[in-house]
């Protein structure tokens, strides 16, 4: 009884109150036009993507919306205008098939939106690009923060000679790459819900090997200028391909695109590279929006994101063989027909020639 009285006394002296939720009104950021795309001396179609991006950045899915039904054209320094076609109302605009940039010509992107606003890019002059003499590769392994896991992959090198009669700004990126997908249909098992033999052996007769295009969502690129090697032969690392346990189970074909860009485009790409390589904490200042070469013809103070680039390109492929790699990741097993993997095909590409 005394215990009950003490409990009632404690409850009476404790103030009872409600906690009202604290409401924070966050103003919506300005929707910024973002332009992504470039043209090269390769035959088209070349793609230009237009979106509206919130000032908070792309981490909030749904705040990036395609800009549809715009009129998009490319004007060259000789007075020619080429109009682009929108693909399926998704904000992606394509040049006609066969359209290609030409060395010595400057190009500007012109955009007219449905709301009447107009935009243009500053002219980008196309300079010649040195030819890739050859590609080589090397198996590499790096330590990671996880002491039990190493980062394993292949480093690809471009061999070329830089011309001495001009200043060159290089931009390397990976083109379409294909690899042999090795599966294990003989290890296929029945469904766990099978009425008589759940997960019992159910080997398939087909198929163990397919060909798959490497659909990496991250566009990898490398930059350089010839400040330190003007006129010299070079061997530069231009691409790292991570071993995910599938890519190097047999043969991997990588394509390297060596592109000449303007000094302004090189500066823009360098800033992008610096931001994407930041590994700070949540207490770091958020990265700033990097302004490109797109300006509004109606409001010079309007911030427009992205960059329209034009450059010449040289491409080369290299076949990476498993038996020539010193380091390999633990292979991933696909206990099924390789054709069950999205995009897998039994026949190799028409130009497959290891």
Residue 347 is assigned to a structural domain of this protein? no
User: How many structural domains does the chain have?
Assistant: 1
Instruction: Specify the pLDDT at position 218.
Output: 52
Q: What is the mean pLDDT of residues 203-226?
A: 87
CA distance 55 to 49: 18
Residue 1 is assigned to a structural domain of this protein? no
Out of 22-36, 86-100, 125-139, 325-339, least confident range: 22-36
Residue 9 is assigned to a structural domain of this protein? no
Residue 81 has pLDDT above 60, yes or no: yes
Residue 5 is assigned to a structural domain of this protein? no
Residue 36 is assigned to a structural domain of this protein? yes
Segments forming the whole domain that contains residue 326: 30-278+285-340
CA distance 45 to 62: 28
Residue 16 has pLDDT above 70, yes or no: no
pTM of the model: 0.82
Instruction: Specify the pLDDT at position 291.
Output: 79
> In the structure, what pLDDT confidence band is assigned to residue 53 with cuts at 50, 70 and 90?
confident
Instruction: Give me the torsion for CA of 16, 18, 22, 23, rounded to 10°.
Output: -160
Residue 16 is assigned to a structural domain of this protein? no
Residue 17 is assigned to a structural domain of this protein? no
Residue 331 has pLDDT above 50, yes or no: yes
Residue 329 has pLDDT above 90, yes or no: yes
Instruction: Specify the pLDDT at position 171.
Output: 96
Q: What is the mean pLDDT of residues 337-345?
A: 96
Count of H-run helices and E-run strands, the chain: 2, 21
CA angle, residues 302, 303, 309, in degrees to nearest 5? 120
End-to-end CA distance of the chain: 90
Q: By C-alpha distance, which of 144, 180, 156, 140 is closest to 326?
A: 140
**Which residues make Cβ contacts (< 8 Å) with residue 191, sequence separation at least 6?**
198, 199
Beta bridge partners of 125: 106
Q: Are 86 and 92 in contact (CB under 8 A)?
A: yes
Residue 353 is assigned to a structural domain of this protein? no
% residues pLDDT > 70 (the chain): 84
């Amino acid at each position: 009884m005394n215990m009950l009285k003490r409990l009632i006394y404690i409850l009476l002296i404790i103030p009872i109150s409600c906690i009202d939720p604290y409401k924070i009104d966050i103003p919506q950021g300005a929707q910024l036009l973002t332009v992504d795309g470039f043209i090269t001396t390769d035959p088209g179609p070349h793609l230009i993507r237009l979106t509206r991006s919130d000032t908070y950045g792309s981490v909030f899915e749904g705040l990036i919306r395609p800009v549809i039904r715009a009129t998009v054209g490319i004007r060259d320094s000789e007075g020619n205008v080429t109009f682009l076609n929108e693909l399926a109302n998704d904000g992606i605009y394509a040049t006609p098939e066969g359209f290609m940039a030409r060395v010595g010509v400057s190009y500007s992107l012109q955009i007219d939106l449905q709301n009447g606003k107009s935009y243009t890019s500053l002219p980008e002059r196309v300079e010649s690009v040195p030819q890739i003499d050859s590609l080589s590769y090397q198996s590499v392994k790096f330590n990671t923060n996880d002491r039990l896991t190493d980062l394993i992959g292949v480093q690809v090198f471009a061999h070329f000679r830089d011309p001495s009669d001009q200043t060159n700004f290089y931009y390397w990126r990976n083109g379409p790459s294909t690899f042999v997908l090795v599966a294990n249909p003989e290890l296929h098992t029945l469904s766990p819900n099978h009425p008589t033999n759940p997960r019992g052996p159910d080997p398939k007769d087909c198929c163990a090997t397919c060909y798959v295009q490497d659909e990496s969502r991250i566009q990898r690129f490398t930059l350089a200028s010839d400040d330190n090697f003007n006129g010299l032969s070079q061997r530069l690392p231009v691409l790292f391909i991570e071993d995910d346990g599938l890519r190097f189970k047999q043969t991997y074909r990588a394509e390297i695109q060596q592109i000449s860009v303007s000094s302004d485009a090189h500066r823009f790409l360098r800033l992008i590279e610096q931001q994407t390589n930041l590994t700070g904490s949540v207490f770091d200042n958020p990265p700033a929006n990097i302004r490109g070469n797109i300006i509004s013809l109606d409001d010079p103070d309007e911030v427009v994101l992205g960059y329209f680039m034009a450059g010449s390109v040289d491409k080369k492929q290299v076949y990476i063989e498993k038996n020539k790699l010193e380091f390999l990741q633990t292979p991933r097993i696909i206990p099924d027909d390789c054709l069950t993997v999205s995009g897998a095909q039994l026949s190799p590409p028409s130009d497959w020639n290891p």
